[in-house]
Amino acid sequence: MEALLAKASTLRSFLRSTSEERLASGDATLEQNLSSVTNQDVLFALDHTFIIQSHTTGVDALPRSPWSCETCISHTELVHHVIERLLARKRAINWEDANVLTLGYREVTPGAVGHRVTQSNGIICYYPNTLVAALKKPLWGSLHELMGDDLMTHLLLNYTILVQLKENPDSYMQLTGRSLRQQNRLALNSSVDSTKREVSINYVMYARCFRRDRVFTSSHVLGKAAKTGDLISRTEASRVIRSIFPNTASEKRLPKRLIHLIPTIQKMVSRFKACQVEELATKLVPVNADFRKFMADNASIKRKMAERTADAKTSSQPVIQPILRKALEDGYLSQSEDIAPSSDRKRKRREEAIELLSHASTRSSKNSPEEAVRMDKKHKKSDTSSGKERNVHEVSDLTKLQHHKEDIKKMLAFATPKKKIFRLIRRFIAEVVPKELWGSSDTKTNWKCVKMLLRKLIFSRKFVVFSLKKCAEEFQVTKVEWMNVQSKGKYCPPNERVKRLELLEDLLWWVMSFLVFPLLRNLFYITEAEGMANEIAYYQRPVWNVISTLALSDLEGGILQPSSIQTLPSDRQLATSRMRLLPKSSGVRPLMNLSTAIDQAKVSVNRSMEAVHRVLTFEVERQPKLLGASVRNIDEIYMRLKPLFRQISQCPRCAERRCLSGDNPMAYCVTVDVERCFDTIRPRKLYQMLKKALTEDEYLIRKHWVGHQVAPISSSTDSGESLPASSFFFKLERPACPSGDLLGFDELAAQSTKKNSMFVDGVLYDYLTKTKALQLLKEHLSANIVQMEGREYVQRCGIPQGSVLSTTLCNMYYAHFERRVLRKRLPEVCDPAIVPVSCCQHEELFRYTDDFMYITTDLKRARKFFEVMHEGNDEYGCFVNVTKTQANFEVKSGGKQAADASKDCISWCGMLIDPTHLQVYVNYEKLGSSLLQGSIPFNETKPAQDFFVNKVISPIRQRWHALYFDPELLSEDSIHVNLFQMLVVAAHRFTILIEMLPFVNRDMLFFHCCILRILKKMTKGIHHSLELGLESGKSRAEFGNRSSKLTYEAQKDQVWTTGLYAFQLAIEAKRDQDKGSDAGHIKPKCQWADWQKLLDAVQAEQEEFNKRAKRTQGTTALNLEWFLQDRRNMCVLKQFLQRRSA
């Protein structure tokens, strides 16, 4: 807020300077009015209202002379007069330049239907603007009397007014002026360089199956040019050149340097026509031999593939040719290829294809429209059967999801190696693009640059972005002969070099967009895999077609049902969404993208359900019982876990129990995970819950923006420089309320708990009736339609994953299960009629979506919870995954050992719970070094100073929460362990980022400064989270008595001492690793001497910090070697530092 208000002035200072000017003119009215103010609200407004002058041409800071401080009209009339003038200005100058006071108002036109405004015949109100109502309050009426009509009118017309909230002193509300959110958005758009060219593998990921005979379409620019003959004309070549260099598209004649390029383009088109892409791909990247053998050994899968292909080619087009061509090209329908000649092999595969086609045609002919109607009636009749039979039928259908699980798992291993793909792309570009396009024949550097760009693209990860500008800068532009306009000297003037680099950038972009990307899209399916961070896998189209066919076959037997006219509702309100398959270690996972619609003219499902989501959010906040034991974020976990641990640790009966028992833990903990929770939810039962949850007949959803400062860590407001526009971020808020409870925006902002924010009203309202909401929910739950590979499916069980409502619906569903099933057999202990007074029982039930955790001091109740959850419940479709169950006591289920008490900590939702000592740690077991490296996206188009520090700390921001550092919750050594582990992860990520940067960017002085900034950022983050955590349990006055400065300094010493030590360990490990690489003749990306230089700087910083601490506080340096001996750090030391704890 300080950076935003740097150019603003308070209302008092503005009026004071204005009064001085009026005194010079002989008018002391304003000075007298200011000195006579006694009202406390007016005094507060003068000191806490900020104004910023709008940069409008021809507008001065004060009204034009002559003007006075007299008050002649009422305040309400003045406000309406200002709105009328603002609307006229908007119509005359810029219709987008809308003052927030004009939102909801329009100028009067013939036939306009709206609410007439009193004391103004020129404007009409269509919907309420509560900012205008706030401006009409007595406070601003008093200010109007203080400054007069002219000055008040000028202030409202030409200034942005920001009001500090009395209830939340760190936050502000915009009252007048152009919307700050709109100004911020325009500033962001203007700061984006539209000419910046970048490439990423994201452009070709998830490409849907192309049923084409050729890789490149007939409309391709080179394909269209190649139709004219062997050697195209100069006119056709000019058209190709204009597509390569778009800046010349509007010019009548090509520049001279591009005219030199015409013969090369003619040659390129001829080579493109002669290049047989399919044969080249078959030769360099043949279908995996193991995959061909697998298909030959599985006749059922071959038959299923043929049937699927036949169904796709039903209507008028003959299907024999596509299936025959697929059989001959893929070559997996027969395995007897080592004895018979080529003609016999083709003939045999043709006969097998025709035989499979005949079976598919016979089966498809039986599915007549009359049969479909009859089956639909039978299905409807079966739906009216008993609920128990229907549930059993649904559960049996869900077991079909595992039918081809092992087959899919085997075929996922047939991913194409990236080396082969790079070889194919490199060979294709070399055959099509003449080398003289990159430079003279004796210049190999330019071609190496192109190959390096292709290699980086193929071997890149998801979200990695490469800069074509940086690639072009590595070219030897003087060696490119077609660019030489006048002379062929080695010297190239700076302006000429810039022009040549722009041409090379356009050329590289065209090669990527028109040659490389179409080849990758049509020959491969490119996707990431679950559990592999951002690593990319390439699957050939024949392999992926089989995987997707088997996966869809399993889904059709369980979750999905092929859609038809009979199964779809006639009055559909929601659009069709896309679905894709994500590989994982045990098969594939279907992912529904409900944020986009197949038809671009329609609104996506998530956008359509946004209003319903806000209504349900309002209801669950008003009725907490609808959420049950749900915890939606780490804040709610902390707020419920801290009182429980404190009660147990401070309870004398629990202490006596532990003394008598000896080895018993302080608490008993059980965690269970519901198996396939989204797929097993009963939609009809959930819909009945939702009907009861919506209690209002109509809801109002209003929209406003909340701005937060998100300045880069490298920027500082102390230097006097203004922060960039991108450092201020506005987030849209959509609170819902009953339609009759419209609060003023000032009241709404005062009720908000957000701090250090700027509230901007959008004056936008949506109304949603209960009937409309239930209609949308019913269609969303019972007729969710997705499309994959050109086919539409209806989800017939479970709730849609990827929906904006999925988490809320899941929480409400299992909260109902808790009330109706779990709590009937395991009642809450707060009832004195059930629990004896002499019994000491502390317990808490947590549930994050479908992950339950039950903590109690009563072993019997812990066993009872385990028993109830493992019995399952068919009515709710709730069955736990036994393999994921954890407990810190021995328990048997079905005669088998279901849980082992040997583990010290219980893992749950990224945390490690130690019920023996009531401690909480972060779980880093699944975050290995390779996974951490693969999760770091890299963008070459941005300078390192803009992203380096934020990328280091981004994955650990949530880890500096008060849950892991609260001294009232955890012991001192546990806090130190959490801090050490978090800093080790940050230090390891720091070294990974250094390795990813180009060599020219490895400035060790810069990295040393980054370490200091990281520690500074983490110190402030931990201190801020602890302040929020401690303040939440105390009143503001009680919390304010703490010595915050002393606490901050103590935390700073801890973070800096431990942080410098962790960075020292990480740099030493990386230095020793690179030294071993040198010995093994593997050239490291960063030299040993560079790591040693950085290590020396960190050690010197650590020594300086210890001396400073000893001088100011009189404390000696702590011995941190115990971190390496503590068994709690074993996982982190092994994964990130290649060490083992003693």
pLDDT tens digits for range 145-191: 999 999 999 999 999 999 999 988 889 999 999 998 887 766 655 55
Q: Phi/psi at 1071 (nearest 5 deg)?
A: -65, -45
The pLDDT of residue 187 is 62
pLDDT band at 572 (very low <50, low <70, confident <90, very high): confident
- Look at the block and give the residue holding tokens 């988490």: 807
pLDDT of residue 600: 87
Q: Is the pLDDT of residue 830 over 70?
A: no
Confidence at 213, pLDDT banded by 50, 70, 90: low
Distance separating alpha carbons of residues 250 and 675, to the nearest angstrom: 60
Between 72-86, 662-676, 924-938, the lowest mean confidence (pLDDT) is in 924-938
45-49, 297-301, 746-750, 895-899: least confidently modelled range: 895-899
**In the predicted model, what is the mean pLDDT of residues 935-948?**
84
For 758, the token pair is: 């700027």
CB-based contacts of 712, cutoff 8 Å, min separation 6: 724, 727, 946, 949, 950
pLDDT (mean) for 542-548: 93
Q: DSSP string of 220-243?
A: SHHHHHHTT-SS--HHHHHHHHHH
In the chain, where the domains are located:
9-180, 199-281+416-539, 924-1136
Averaged over 406-432, what is the pLDDT?
95
Query: What's the CA angle centered on 693, arms 687 and 695, to 5 degrees?
Result: 125
At residue 262, does pLDDT exceed 80?
yes
Residue 562 has pLDDT above 80, yes or no: yes
Is the pLDDT reported for residue 1107 higher than 90?
no
> Nearest Cα to 966, choosing from 1041, 1036, 1043, 1032?
1032
Compute the distance between CA of residue 179 and CA of residue 1059 in angstroms, rounded to an integer. 43
pLDDT of residue 368: 47
Question: What pLDDT is attached to residue 723?
Answer: 44
For residue 630, give the nearest of 813, 815, 825 by alpha carbon: 815
Q: Which helix (H) or strand (E) holds 581?
A: strand 577-584
Q: What is the pLDDT of residue 720?
A: 40
Length of the chain in terms of residues written: 1142
What pLDDT shows up at residue 1083? 58
- Residue 1029 predicted with pLDDT over 90: no
Choose among 314, 802, 389, 240: nearest CA to 562.
314
- Residue whose structure tokens are 């390891």: 988
Distance, in Å, from the CA atom of 654 to the CA atom of 666, rounded to the nearest integer, reads 7
> What pLDDT, on the 0 to 100 scale, is given for residue 17?
93
pTM, 2 dp = 0.86
As a whole number of angstroms, the distance between CA 841 and CA 830 comes to 9
**pLDDT of 328 strictly over 60:** no
Residue 1055 CA to residue 953 CA, distance in Å, equals 14
At 385, the pLDDT band (50, 70, 90 cuts) reads: very low
Q: In what order do the strands lie in the sheet with 784-788?
A: 560-562, 791-795, 784-788, 577-584, 587-593
375-384, 524-533, 873-882, 1126-1135: segment of lowest average pLDDT: 375-384
Averaged pLDDT score across all residues of the chain: 84
pLDDT at residue 829, as a whole number? 73
pLDDT for 725 equals 45
Do residues 581 and 588 make contact, with C-beta atoms less than 8 angstroms apart? yes
What pLDDT score was predicted for residue 386? 42
Q: For residue range 422-476, list pLDDT tens digits in order.
A: 999 999 999 999 999 998 877 889 999 999 999 999 999 999 999 999 999 999 9
pLDDT for 266 equals: 93
Given a cut of 70, whether residue 505 has pLDDT beyond it is yes
Q: Which residues 6+ apart lie within 8 Å of 920 measured at CB?
A: 641, 911, 912, 913, 914, 963, 964, 969, 970, 974
pLDDT for 839 beyond 90 = no
DSSP assignment string, 595-657: TS-SSTTSPPHHHHTHHHHHHHHHHHHH-GGGTTTB--SHHHHHHHHHHHHHHHHH-HHHHHH
Which pLDDT value is given to residue 322? 47
Residue 913 has pLDDT above 70, yes or no: yes
Give domain 924-1136's CATH architecture: Orthogonal Bundle (1.10)
Residue 521 in this model has a pLDDT that exceeds 80? yes
The sign of the dihedral angle between the CA atoms of 946, 949, 955, 956 is: negative
Judged against a pLDDT cut of 50, whether residue 394 lies above it is answered with no
Which residue(s) pair with 527 in the sheet? 537
CA gap 594, 1003 in Å, rounded: 45
Class of domain 199-281+416-539: mainly alpha
Cα–Cα distances (Å) from 803 to 278, 781, 796, in that order, read 40, 11, 15
8 A C-beta contact, residue 353 and residue 331: no
